[in-house]
Amino acid sequence: MTTLADLYQQEENLKRFALLRKLGEGIMSSVYQCHDKETEDVVAIKVIRGNLVEDEQTLTLLKQDIKILRKISQRNICRIFDLGVFPEHAYVVMDYIEGVQLSSIIRVEGLMPDFRKVPIALKILEGIETAHQHDLAHLNIRPNNILITSNFEPVITDLGLARCLETQVVTDSGRILDNIIYLSPEQIADKNVDYRADIYSFGLLLYELLTKQLPFPDSDPFSMALDHFQQKPTSPREYNPYISESLENIIMKCLEKDRDFRYQNTTGIIQDIQNTFQLDQTKSKAASKLKALVADDDPLYSITFSEMLKKLEMDVILCSNGLEAVSKCIEEKPDIIFMEVALPKINGILASEILLSTTTTRKIPIVIVSSKTDEECIISSSKIGVKDYLVKPVQIDDIKQRLKFWLNK
């Protein structure tokens, strides 16, 4: 098997690169880390084996793609600087990216936290979008071709090389692609392929990134090829119930078998994911808000007090008497209770005593609120386990200063 060292004897231009180490090897190519003696940069050189140079049309297209790639500078695309072609081999010089394949990260639980995944998917899309804007389709979007750097920046590799890097197995029944699980139906059918194939492959990648599963149950290439044409993808929410319905819809639209029903461009996917992500964050923020119950029979003061709590990002439940306060607390289980002493039906001290002796509410902090300083009331409330005692008018700064103490934070 020819190595980069062997090619030094055939290609004069390669002598400017000092071989540092071998990075990896596949069926059709090998990748090396090298030092560029002229620029002092560390680069990667991919040596491509096979009949590339025998296919004049493929070689011409590759040269055109690399000419375009030299002009593209986008952080999520690995730049390619040069191409060399000689009998039975070719090589490309590209950026050396210090990173881990996305496929490895998907396999290892906990290597990437969930909150990183959607932003990473968006950055991958931005790279694909840039390529499409330059009339370049990747045609081999899959986790092995995405590198994740130490700061969780994804970099798409092998852009422009898909035509000559098909890892193929030839059988009596025909050609079966090794990477068939990431190919669109039209690629498998060997139809005229365009950039919408990348959208299908991105849908598969996003599915796996969020679920650690593949959308089709079959594992052998023949069955999986049929799945791309016939099988409806398993709902990603079956594997990961935390995926929102709107995000699932985005994935499934990417995976439409008829490309006319898919997203027609990456811009639409980016906008829909951003909208979904913002909506999910809003829901998450709303779900994480503190819930406060305010029991006071003075409507004006209740509203004033609740507005202060809302400014502190709290949801507020209002009650006008002691019995209602007890009932609502047991039902709603708020994070904190503000209880006026002089409440109708049962007073605030008795209501607090009931709540502090009830299993479902006894751990909820209660703050007694009164219009005056009453030592007897303070002592009584302290004995039953009330957290604090406030005298009206309460200021928002009073709440800010004491909130962590009330919540034991």
Domains and CATH numbers, the chain: 4-95 (3.30.200.20), 100-285 (1.10.510.10), 289-406 (3.40.50.2300)
Residue 174 has pLDDT above 60, yes or no: no
In this predicted structure, the answer to whether residue 86 has a pLDDT above a threshold of 90 is: no
Quote the distance between the C-alpha of residue 198 and its chain's center: 18
Burial (CB count within 10 angstroms: exposed 0-12, middle 13-18, buried 19+), residue 199? buried
pLDDT of residue 54 exceeding 70:
no
How buried is 291 (Cβ within 10 angstroms: 0-12 exposed, 13-18 middle, 19+ buried)? Answer: middle
Q: What confidence score (pLDDT) does residue 367 get? A: 94
3-class SS of residue 314: strand
Task: Say which amino acid occupies 305.
Answer: F
Residue 306 or residue 225, greater confidence: 306
| Tens-digit pLDDT profile for residues 89-124 | 788 899 999 999 999 988 886 667 677 888 899 999
Candidate from 12-16, 116-120, 236-240 with smallest mean pLDDT: 12-16
Residue 68 to residue 62: CA distance in whole angstroms: 10
Cα 143 to its chain centre, rounded Å, is 14
Mean local confidence (pLDDT), 171-199: 74
Residue of 87, 79, 31, 33 whose CA lies nearest to 59: 87
Per-residue pLDDT for 207 more than 50? Answer: yes
Higher pLDDT, 56 or 224: 224
Instruction: Tell me what pLDDT residue 60 has.
Output: 80
Q: Is 46 annotated to bind ligand?
A: yes
Dihedral sign for Cα atoms in the order 114, 116, 119, 120? negative
Q: Is the pLDDT of residue 4 over 70?
A: no
Partners of 317 in the beta sheet? 293
* pLDDT-derived band at 172, boundaries 50, 70, 90: very low
* Burial class of residue 102, CB neighbours in 10 A (0-12, 13-18, 19+): buried
How far apart are the C-alpha atoms of 321 and 305, rounded to whole Å?
16
- Examine the pLDDT at 359 and tell me if it is beyond 90: no
Q: In whole angstroms, give the CA distance from residue 163 to residue 146.
A: 17
